[in-house]
Amino acid sequence: MQMSVEELAGGVTKVVLEGRLDIAGAQEIDLKMNVIAGSKKAVLVDMQKVSFMGSMGLRALVAPAQAIKGRGGKMVLFAPTEMVEKVLKASAIDAIIPIHHEFQSALAVLQ
């Protein structure tokens, strides 16, 4: 799992994930996501290139999302693939972390 971070205008942090968010992938991003969760308040996670997600991957997203929310911030998931979105919705994660397929609507949630 590859992870890159970009600061956008308006104080939004864009995290781009690429690869499998399986057990190994979750471990690879855990520390970096925790750092972001502790320092950023408007986070967009670009899921377009996430090819797989399991329950460990869900935890790797939920924990930072809850931490950001606890600090008064917000996190959104942008454009997961059909099957990854099915995993997210089956676990009701979309109730914690909104999912948006339009970039501008995702940004609007954060601003």
Chain contacts with other proteins (rule: CB under 8 A): 20, 22-24, 52-56, 58-59, 62, 66, 82-83, 86-87, 90-93, 95-96
Q: Are the CB atoms for 67 and 97 separated by under 8 Å?
A: no
Nearer to other proteins, 5 or 96 (CB): 96
Nearer to other proteins, 24 or 35 (CB): 24
- Write down the least CB distance from residue 31 to other proteins, Å: 17
- Write down the least CB distance from residue 72 to other proteins, Å: 17
Q: Are the CB atoms for 70 and 103 separated by under 8 Å?
A: no
- Write down the least CB distance from residue 22 to other proteins, Å: 6
- Write down the least CB distance from residue 107 to other proteins, Å: 24
Nearer to other proteins, 10 or 70 (CB): 70
Strand partners, 17: 3
Q: Are the CB atoms for 57 and 69 separated by under 8 Å?
A: no
Q: What are phi and psi of 73, to 5 degrees?
A: -105, -170
Q: Are the CB atoms for 81 and 70 separated by under 8 Å?
A: no
